[in-house]
Every structure is written in C-alpha cells, then in structure tokens.
Amino acid sequence: MTPAARVQAAIELLDTIIASARGKGAPADRIIADYFRARRYAGSKDRRALRDLVYRAIRLCGPVPQSGRAAMLAVAGQDEAVAVLFDGSAHGPAPRAEGEPVAKTGLAPKWLAATLRASGLGGREIAALMERAPLDVRVNALKADRAALVLPEAGEPLAAPQGLRFPSGTQVEAWEAYREGLIEVQDLGSQLIVEALPVGQGDTIIDLCAGGGGKTLALAARLNNAACIIAADTDKRRLGNLAPRAARAGAAVDHTVLLDPGREMRALGGFAGKADHVLVDAPCSGSGTWRRSPEGRWRLDPTELARLNQLQDHVLDLAAQLVRPGGSVSFVTCSLLDAEGADRIPAFLARHPGWRAEALALPLGRARGAGWRLDPFHDGTDGFFVAGLRSP
C-alpha cells in the first residue's frame, strides 16, 4: 500500500467504526480485525500503519466525527506528513476541498467531559484516558509463580502479587507460557480488585457478570481452586470463551450458567440465598478502558448512560437475592463516572434496608463515595470503581 492508500483505507475503516459506534455495534478493534481477515494480503507494516492512523484519529476526535474523512482531515491538520497525502493520487484520498468539514478535536463530547469533571476528574486525569495502555499480565498461580517464571522478555513486577507489565503491543499471545496457561493478559486494576475481594477457600462464589471469565480465572487462581465458583452471564459468545480458557489455565469453574436477560433467576434460582459472595462486574460504559477502546466515548450518550445505570441496579438486586444472610457482594465497574460507581451504592442501600457498605483494601487508588477508585493517571491501571456490600 502507498502511504496515501493507507490514509484512504483509514478513512473507510473510520466510516465503519463511526457507524458502528452510532448504532452500538461492534467495537473498533473487532472491525479492524475483520477488515484484515478479509485482506490477508496486507503486510504487517501496512497493518500497523493503518491501525496507528485509525487510532490517532479516534483519540484526537472527542465528539463523534461527521465522517471518516473529516476525522482524518483533523489528523492532517496536526500533521503535515498526513496532510500532503490528500493529493488525489491513485487509491489515495481526494485533495481537500475549499470549506470541507474537519472533525472537532478534544477529549470527549461536551456533556461527557462535564460529567467526567463532575465525577472528580481533572484535565490530567481525563487526558490520561487517551494514552496508550501498557500490556499487563497475571502469572497464573495455579501453574507458575512470578518469582520463578522465565519469559522471553522481562516484565516489570506490579503491585498485584502475580502482575507483570510489558510495553504496549508486546505479542505475549505468541509465547509458549501463554499457550500453556502460565500467564493471562489482565490489567493490573482487575488483578488488584480480585485480590481485594472478601472471599476465602471453601466459599461459594457467584461471578454474576463473568463474561469471558477474566476475573473468574483470577479468583480460581487466588483461591487455589479450593472454592465453588459459579460463572454466569447473559452473553453466550463471551461465556463460551470461559471453558477453553479455564481448561488452559487449569482453573476449576464448577458451574457455567447462561442467563436469560430479565429472567436471570430462572437459571440461578437454585443458588438463591446460598452464595457467600457475589461478584457483580457490571456492564458499563467502559470509560475506564478508553485507553484501549477510545471510540467508547463515541458510543455513550445520556440515554445510554441511564440505560446502563438501570442495568447496574438490576444486577445488584439479583446479587442481593443470591447472597446468604451475612454474605457479601462486590460491585465493580470499569468506569470513572460516578453515575456508574459511587452513585450506585447509596441507591442500592436505599432499596435494601439492613445492608451496609464495607471497605475493601487495595494497595493503589483512593476512596470515592462509599467505594474505591483506580485510574490511569494516578495508578497506571485501567479506571475502576469497586465497592463492598454486606448483607444483614
């Protein structure tokens, strides 16, 4: 591909990503992966260059751009090397027309920037959400130990007992240690949260929003497979990834339960009032993971945020039904918005008299409302909110 053809390809990919964000469709990384799957002839240099162009444009444009071309013109406005490629050459973008729209730059749409600020984030904290995230790994304590494991590259030891950090883009999936289940890719924040959960060996633990099992596997490793772990989710595709991942990791997951949204207790009724602990890693905007999915801010609007808050309350209410008297619930979101964090706790306590919030001990982060918050700027983790709740 010529450099100009890469710019044109980036424009077309951005058009798809913008449409998908508006329609709450597939995320950018999946769209890019599908694009290259259909173009196997594209070399690794082209792939890297195209990806970089697309993500530069996404990071640069806070509000949803009117088009992929407008987004790339915004990049061109800051980078002469890109601007000169709008030259009308074969397969390249047409020259810029007089008065042609250029996408607005900024960290986030106005309403969202205001909501972030109202959630206690300053300019530096918000800017850090747009930086490239490093690659964190959790050494799987069921099969290995960080102190003794030799990997192709030396990682930086992290605050989590089995955490190691590598530069962004390190191809750990190609390592033998990954294929053999000795390491998992997992952000430091997730690792610290699992370490802080008030659980012990012998407990019955429901991971109510288990997804592909990131935290489920970390829990099984922390408890050395000596707990009864039930992984549930409404997403068949995500939950389907759990069994092969657990097998690779040697992690014992006792039950995997696919839930019908709105009728979750039909599948979980047998566990009602029995769990020692329910982990609610709730669906959210993912504002804490914008370093990895910066187009997430194009997906969010006040209506979507309100829908997510309802869902968060709903899964918390389910957890309250599942836990035994005196048992506990942890509420986690990978968001920095109070609406998806601190605000959910008083709302829960108002609906569930007798319950109380309980502090969790994390080595990084700071208190936010009745819970705790981690953020990229201060802690070098993805952004998370976590709070403990204790049943009467």
Ligand X SMILES: C[S@@+](CC[C@H](N)C(=O)[O-])C[C@H]1O[C@@H](n2cnc3c(N)ncnc32)[C@H](O)[C@@H]1O
Contact 250, 142 (CB under 8 A): yes
208 near ligand X (CB under 6 A): yes
261 near ligand X (CB under 6 A): yes
Contact 196, 360 (CB under 8 A): yes
219 near ligand X (CB under 6 A): no
234 near ligand X (CB under 6 A): yes
- Closest distance to ligand X from the beta carbon of 341 (Å): 13
Please give the positions annotated as active site: 334
Backbone angles phi, psi at 354, to 5 degrees: 100, -25
238 near ligand X (CB under 6 A): yes
Report the residue number, 70 or 208, with the smaller CB distance to ligand X: 208
**233 known ligand binder:** yes
Alpha helix (H) residue ranges in the chain = 3-22, 28-37, 44-60, 68-78, 80-83, 110-118, 123-128, 176-179, 188-196, 214-222, 236-240, 242-249, 264-268, 296-299, 302-322, 344-351, 376-379
What are the tokens at 225?
């497979």
283 near ligand X (CB under 6 A): yes
What are the tokens at 165?
């950090």
296 near ligand X (CB under 6 A): no
Burial 269-288 (b: 16+ CB within 10 A, else e): eebeeebbbbbbbbbbbbbb
What distance in Å separates the CA atoms of residue 374 and residue 193, rounded to the nearest whole number? 10
383 near ligand X (CB under 6 A): no
Our CA dihedral for 200, 272, 347, 236, rounded to 10 degrees, sits at 90
Task: Let me know how long the chain is.
Answer: 392
- Closest distance to ligand X from the beta carbon of 277 (Å): 14
Q: Which stretch binds ligand X (CB under 6 A): 28-36, 70-78, 163-171, 230-238?
A: 230-238
215 near ligand X (CB under 6 A): yes
184 near ligand X (CB under 6 A): no
- Closest distance to ligand X from the beta carbon of 163 (Å): 15
Q: Where are the beta strands (DSSP E) in 146-234?
A: 156-157, 163-166, 183-185, 204-207, 228-233
Out of 196, 223, 305, 315, the only residue in the binding site for ligand X (CB under 6 A) is 315
Report the residue number, 49 or 316, with the smaller CB distance to ligand X: 316
211 near ligand X (CB under 6 A): yes
Site for ligand X in 241-260 (CB under 6 A): 259
What distance in Å separates the CA atoms of residue 91 and residue 51, rounded to the nearest whole number? 18
Report the residue number, 44 or 303, with the smaller CB distance to ligand X: 303
- Closest distance to ligand X from the beta carbon of 218 (Å): 8
233 near ligand X (CB under 6 A): yes
Report the residue number, 258 or 367, with the smaller CB distance to ligand X: 258
Residue type, 253: V
323 closest CA partner among 391, 383, 386: 391
Contact 309, 344 (CB under 8 A): yes
205 near ligand X (CB under 6 A): no
How large is the C-alpha radius of gyration of the chain?
22
Report the residue number, 70 or 209, with the smaller CB distance to ligand X: 209
Residue 177, C-beta contacts closer than 8 angstroms, at least 6 positions apart? 144, 149, 151, 183
**260 known ligand binder:** no
157: exposed, middle or buried (Cβ count in 10 Å: 0-12, 13-18, 19+): middle
- Closest distance to ligand X from the beta carbon of 86 (Å): 40
Q: Which stretch binds ligand X (CB under 6 A): 88-96, 173-181, 204-212, 373-381?
A: 204-212
309 near ligand X (CB under 6 A): no
- Closest distance to ligand X from the beta carbon of 386 (Å): 12
> What separation in angstroms does the CA of 9 have from each of 1, 26, 31, 54, 221?
9, 18, 13, 9, 43
Q: Which stretch binds ligand X (CB under 6 A): 47-55, 150-158, 228-236, 369-377?
A: 228-236
- Closest distance to ligand X from the beta carbon of 237 (Å): 9
Report the residue number, 315 or 320, with the smaller CB distance to ligand X: 315
Q: Which residues are annotated as a binding site?
A: 233, 281
Residues at the site binding ligand X, with contacts judged by CB under 6 A: 208-212, 214-215, 232-235, 238, 259, 261, 264, 281, 283, 311, 315
Q: Which residues are annotated as a binding site for S-adenosyl-L-methionine?
A: 233, 281
